[in-house]
Amino acid sequence: MRKSWILAVSSVAALVLAGCGSSSSNSSGSGTSSSSASGTSSSSSASSSSSASADVSLWTASTSLGTIVVDSSGMTVYYFDKDTANSGTSTCSGECLAAWPAVVATSDSPKVDGVTGTVGTITRDDGTKQVTLNGLPLYLFVKDKAPGDVTGQAVQGVWWVVAPDGTKITAAGGGSSSSSSSGLMPSSGSTY
């Protein structure tokens, strides 16, 4: 009798865990899997494992700001207003890049899931490939500590969370349990 009970509990636990894995594979975003303008998409069997990270560069997630674009680890990606679309360059370097790391890819054609804007890459000065959406470089924010954090939203009025179609979301900062971004002001008095 005890063996049967343990087996039943184990089976239920396995089903629950399988369900959790399934929901994270499609992210918690719109639930649709569409190709980007570059024609790539990931399979619906992707997961948050390291192999999925190598396969999918961008996907979507639901946050306090709505459905947004996230990287392969589920972290929020941002646009920088000082970048120019289709310029092939990033204006963020030095202290800026330390606070706002580039979203990088291993190929010229990053795969996406749920992102409908045009995805590409630029080559940074150090040779890394930075992912772009609608021609604009994408960044992470060091103060976002967990998937769903959007603490970089509207920092200094120049950093913006990105929607799946590649438009910037200009709503007020959502947030999380993370601290505010006031500790990342440039030392020179300029913005980054």
| 109-149: pLDDT as tens digits | 999 999 999 999 999 999 999 999 999 999 999 999 999 99
Q: How confident is the prediction for the chain on average, in pLDDT? A: 73
Rounded CA-CA distance 175/144 in Å is: 9
Confidence of residue 98 (pLDDT cuts 50, 70, 90): very high
Cα angle 112-180-117, degrees, rounded to a multiple of 5? 20
CB of 34 closer than 8 Å to CB of 116: yes
Q: Where are the alpha helices (DSSP H) in 26-148?
A: 50-55, 95-99
Query: Does residue 49 carry a pLDDT above 80?
Result: no
Distance (Å) of CA 181 to CA 37, 99, 126: 33, 10, 27
- For the full predicted model, state whether its pTM sits above 0.75: no
How many CB atoms are closer than 10 A to CB 53? 15
The torsion angles phi and psi of 96, rounded to 5 degrees, stand at -60, -50
- Amino acid identity, position 78: Y
